[in-house]
Structure 1
Amino acid sequence: MLTGERQADPGLLDGLNAEALRELAGKHGMLPLLGRFLATFGAAAAPLRPAFRGRFLDDTRSALALTAELLPAVARLEARGIPVAAYKGPALALQAYGDPSLRLFGDLDLLVPRAALDGAVAALQELGFTPQPFASEAQRRAVLRDGHHLCLTRAPVIIELHWRFSKRMFGFAEALDGVWARLQRLPVRAATVPVLAPEDHMLGLAIHASRGLWSVLEWTLAIAVLARAVPAERWAEVGARAEAWGCARALQVSLLLSEALFATPAPAALWARLPADAATRALARAIAAHVLAGTRSPAWYLRTQVALRRGPLGKLAFLLRSLFVATPSDWAGAGGTRHGLALARVARPFRLLRKYGSRKSV
């Protein structure tokens, strides 16, 4: 679909329900890519286009408008001497697909060092952005300890300011000190923006996708495209980094899914450095089946998150973090006080028991 390796066969369009296809593609973040794919069919795709045209135009306008907002935000942070990398959003669209309009995104994600977070918030406030409020300093400290991003808003634009790729509960150990020396710059309009190196963006996205158990197909595709941009001689280093960050299995599952769902083989150099064992392959098959079915239960989600962790100690550590590391849902009802936050941690195991004891699909 992206590389031109396959010629479009008009027979693929036979019997397609345009409305159902639009809904499914939208759910999986694939609408812009689907539009590009349908264009390769020429006149054969004409009956399908009316169902997509308005949505394609709206999504393109939104993507281009948000991409334009990226430039002043990055420029202000860089002017303050704050290391910054554009992450996901238009940066990923450009890096993976060469066009900011080929991804669906509703906000801008920026990665900064944890030590520079206060300065980054202040710099964005100068542009009129308002940071998310906290009920107390205790709640703010809890978010910085256990969370992974802060939201700043200047309607209709939302910026998520990240200092890591996932909440502490998930147990990844991404060490971001080294990413700043590997940043690349991508041209955007008349400027350039700093983005993560393809291998770092790939690992960050694997962590992000694993949190949602790859429920959006575009995440998997983007990881596969980024993997193909990593030179073979760098896979030994990248594999070591994935293991150090605790996301090697998330990366393996991501690329096994891309092979199964998009017929996009992972680089041989990856499997030479990080061979997937039988348990990882079985896990990827089970996740693929659930993604395609489009349903999952809270209990399945928890079981699968546990299965993603290696070894009995890794699985136990994840369960303990799940029980006792608070999340925004817990903080929301805590009132912002130390007492409220402590009670939220005590109540969390019981809330999870109600949630994950359910077999209801969502």
Structure 2
Amino acid sequence: MIVLGIETSCDETGVALYNSAPWENNAPAHQGIMGQALHTQIAMHRDYGGVVPELASRDHIRRVLPLLDEALLAAQLELSDIDAVAYTQGPGLAGALLVGSAFAKSLAQGLKLPSIGIHHLEGHLLSPLLGISAPQFPFIALLVSGGHTQLMLVSGVGKYQLLGETLDDAAGEAFDKTAKLLGLDYPGGAALSKLAETGQLGRFDLPKPMLHSGDLDFSFSGLKTAVLNQVNKFLSTGVSDTQEIARFHADIARCFVDSLVAVLVSKSEKALKQTGCKHLVLAGGVGANVQLRTALNASAKKHGFEAHYPPVDLCTDNGVMIAFAGALRMLADNNGSTTSGAFDVKPRWDLASNNLI
């Protein structure tokens, strides 16, 4: 079964084709990736310091059809070779989601194919199955994507239990807001992580929010505020030496990243212990963070669990994860495929409510 996947939840337009045959035959899942194309809107939104929903929606309209042609060419396929169409139904920006839904369902109706709406986070948490070292069910998923930071128990496709989530700012939001405080360009998460590599360990005593809360929830707004206080304190000294300013930025970035990573790793260890799982999956945009991967690898070695990651190019939003999740849903025999003409989207959508019975 060849599934076309379309992702338009925010500021990336992703189109991909996935063949489910390897998965069905117990071969490595990544062998089913046939072709993909992706366009990011980062350059367009940078001048505004964040995503502008109306601009994002318009750009998806311009990009999706040429990207489909590009993905088909890469896969050496025709539209007639497709068996089903999967699209991101939510959560995300309503206008952006409507572009993908309208395009996917119109295409599916025209080709007389089933279409299936996919939860954006389900695409992320299943994407490590496409890695060289794929996890086994059940596993713990640490989802750190955009406005989401969650710990999930994944017992199988469509079998998800929320163990903990952020109560305010997600990890990705804290990264971007802190980067903005330090004058880094949007999106600042990757730049902040890079800057932290040159910083001094422990110069600033930043909080590790909810580290000892006893539950698996997160909170990062206080960490961001602590950085703001340190920035204001530094500015009040009137320092003008560029090297000293650069050292301050690198050191505060290092301490911020260390604090955030310490919380994510500690909560993940606790989730593994509570559930008895031996596999941990890191998924989502922050899943590409070098410091977090290094810390999780060290923890895995110390505590005897296995850490799994999606390929780096599949950490950010992409069509492959949607096509893959669509294929697995279709194979689950309770696929929720839609046949109506409605362009239905769910900008706010609880992943656990999407479980298969």
Q: TM-score, normalised by structure 1?
A: 0.25
Q: Which has the higher strand share?
A: 2
Q: TM-score, normalised by structure 2?
A: 0.25
Q: Which has the higher helix share?
A: 1
Q: Larger RCO: Structure 1 or Structure 2 (Cα < 8 Å, ≥ 6 residues apart)?
A: 2
